[in-house]
């Protein structure tokens, strides 16, 4: 998918959908999904990482995407590892809200991991849900934003959740951050 800020690239997964891998549970009672998207960006990895790793990202992303987010409130912490935020989406969104914790902010590898801890897809039966953002330098003024959603769901809910969960929200966020960085308003 072409975008003003980059090109979406994905590879075919096990189920034929782009960027999707299905990893069956050896016990046979749940399924683990990994949804991956990569966007090539004409901006330095450090400038993109500065935004993703910023303690102010929750407030910034609400300003950049008011049609997606109603608000993001800090429950505990200051934006560093261990911070819990409550995310509230625009009316009509499913899920409407959830709380998530910043599990990893790795400045060396430019990796941020955010795990849902209550509400959202967990309240709908998903047993584990995590978003990951990895910024990969490809040159002095170019990089790749790899956005990954990993979740595990009981077999009986797998088909329904596969219809609801996608990586598209992370792609929208990545494109908004790229536009912000390229506009020089950082």
Query: Of the candidates 12, 19, 40, which has an alpha carbon nearest to the alpha carbon of residue 135?
Result: 40
- Per the DSSP assignment, residues forming a β-bridge with 147 are 37, 133
Task: State how far the Cα of 52 lies from the Cα of 101, in Å rounded to an integer.
Answer: 14
Helix (H) or strand (E) holding 133: strand 128-139
User: Which residues are marked as active site?
Assistant: 112
Which residues, listed in sequence order, are joined to residue 111 by a DSSP beta bridge? Answer: 106, 134
Distance CA(170)–CA(161), nearest Å, equals 17
Angle of helix 168-182 relative to helix 57-64, nearest 10 degrees? 90
């Amino acid at each position: 998918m072409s975008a003003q800020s980059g090109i979406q690239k994905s590879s075919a997964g096990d189920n034929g959908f782009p960027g999707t891998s299905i990893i069956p549970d050896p016990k046979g009672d749940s399924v683990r999904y990994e949804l991956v998207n990569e966007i090539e960006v004409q901006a330095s990895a450090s400038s993109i990482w500065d935004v993703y790793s910023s303690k102010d990202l929750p407030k910034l992303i609400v300003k950049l995407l008011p049609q997606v987010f109603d608000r993001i409130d800090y429950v505990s912490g200051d934006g560093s590892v261990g911070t819990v935020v409550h995310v509230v989406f625009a009316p009509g969104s499913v899920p409407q809200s959830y709380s998530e914790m910043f599990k990893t902010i790795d400045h060396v590898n430019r990796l941020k991991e955010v795990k849902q801890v209550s509400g959202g897809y967990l309240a709908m039966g998903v047993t584990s849900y995590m978003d990951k953002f990895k910024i990969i330098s490809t040159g002095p003024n170019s990089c790749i934003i790899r956005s990954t959603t990993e979740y595990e769901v009981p077999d009986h809910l797998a088909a329904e959740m596969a219809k609801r969960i996608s990586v598209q929200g992370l792609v929208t966020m990545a494109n908004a951050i790229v536009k912000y960085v390229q506009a020089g308003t950082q």
